[in-house]
Structure 1
Amino acid sequence: MDTSRKIAVSKVVGAPAGQVFAVLSDPGRHREIDGAGMLQGVEGEPQPLVAVGQTFAMNMHQDALGDYRMINKVTALMPDARIGWSPALDPGCELAAKLGDMEVGGHTFTYDLSDQGDGTTKVTQTYEWMSVKDEQFLAMLPVVSENQLSASLDRLDEAVR
């Protein structure tokens, strides 16, 4: 398996899997656990993530790109065990007009939860971009580092306590 387009980090957090899943499945709390500092907040009234295919919009900011919006599609959902989404640039946001034909999508963020049986959960966060097809976008990846992913797990640990 090609691992050159994937970063995975793990941490045991101080809460049972159900409590961890509750935070991850609430887009309104994603900014709280963002170790990269890009998330500005969910667009609209946050709804719990309950099904594969569900979407939610997230307002974003990067100094190099400015403000923009990503539409995230849930790609994995097994309560208390796994949740993931694939972000794509909202074609209606200002950044999309600036980027022209660049297809900003094809990467995923997935969290796998393993209840340790002692009130803690091993969380593995995987960021992968194996399905990215646009060469211009591919040259910009990864958009988050291993350190930023680890910081997200540290923040998740704080959020679930």
Structure 2
Amino acid sequence: MSRWVESVERRIAAPVDRIYALVGDPARHKDFDGSGSLVKAFDISSPVRPLSRGDWFSMDMDLRGKYAMTSTVVEAVPGERFAWQARPHKDCAKWRFMFGGRIWRYEFEPDGDTTLVRESWDLSEEPLRGFVVLGRRPAREAMRRSLDRIAALTESE
């Protein structure tokens, strides 16, 4: 594991396809966001869910101020992993190349009726990663809450 990647994991009593479908649908990200910063998804490139590699979506955010991010799906292997790279939305042009590039990744290891889910916050392509890394502890706590919410949403279906 790279020094620029933080990960948390949790075993969830749900099949991998149910979890993958949730994570692969940006319209549902607000439902399991543990940071409390997601407001709503908009401008999603494809009506097909889960999204595929190369698809993109934008998200209205509110974390100590309102802003928007556009994410590109960089990994989409059903039942194995789903990841997107976030950058400031085109309306935030002056910030576009100063920060952004974080990758949010979900990896899945099915085991019978349960799935080990690993969420990672990858800063290896973040230009200001040395500064952003100060947010590691809150990010880990938010990821744990996200996994708890994913469990609550998928175990009860």
Structure 2 Cα separation of the partners of residues 138 and 89 of structure 1 = 18
1:159 aligns with 2:150: no
1:105 aligns with 2:100: yes
Structure 1 Cα separation of the partners of residues 8 and 71 of structure 2 = 21
After superposition, the C-alpha distances for 1:18-64 in whole angstroms (9 at most, x for unaligned) are 0001101111110011001110010146832432111001110011x
What is aligned with 1:139?
131
SS at match of 1:28: helix
Deviates more, 1:142-151 or 1:15-24: 142-151
Q: Which amino acid aligns with 2:61?
A: M
What is aligned with 2:110?
115
After superposition, the C-alpha distances for 1:130-150 in whole angstroms (9 at most, x for unaligned) are 1122x4x64134475211111
Structure 1 unmatched runs, 5+: none
Deviates more, 1:72-81 or 1:140-149: 140-149
Question: Any conservation in 1 of the 2:34–2:142 contact (CA below 8 Å)?
Answer: yes
Q: 1:149 aligns with which of 130, 143, 146?
A: 143
SS at match of 2:90: coil
- Once the two structures are TM-superposed, the CA of residue 120 in structure 1 deviates from its matched residue by 1.1
What is aligned with 1:58?
59
TM-score using structure 2 length: 0.87
Deviates more, 1:33-42 or 1:48-57: 48-57
- Once the two structures are TM-superposed, the CA of residue 10 in structure 1 deviates from its matched residue by 0.5
Structure 2 unmatched runs, 5+: none
Structure 1 Cα separation of the partners of residues 126 and 27 of structure 2 = 27
Taking only the aligned residue pairs, the percentage that are identical comes to 25
SS at match of 1:140: helix
Match runs of 1:88-103 below 5 Å = 88-93=87-92, 96-97=93-94, 99=95, 103=98
Structure 1 Cα separation of the partners of residues 63 and 130 of structure 2 = 17
Q: Which amino acid aligns with 2:107?
A: D
Structure 1 Cα separation of the partners of residues 50 and 100 of structure 2 = 20
Structure 2 Cα separation of the partners of residues 31 and 69 of structure 1 = 14
Number of residue pairs aligned between Structure 1 and Structure 2: 151
- Once the two structures are TM-superposed, the CA of residue 159 in structure 1 deviates from its matched residue by 1.1
TM-score using structure 1 length: 0.85
Structure (1/2) with the larger helix percentage: 2
SS at match of 1:92: helix
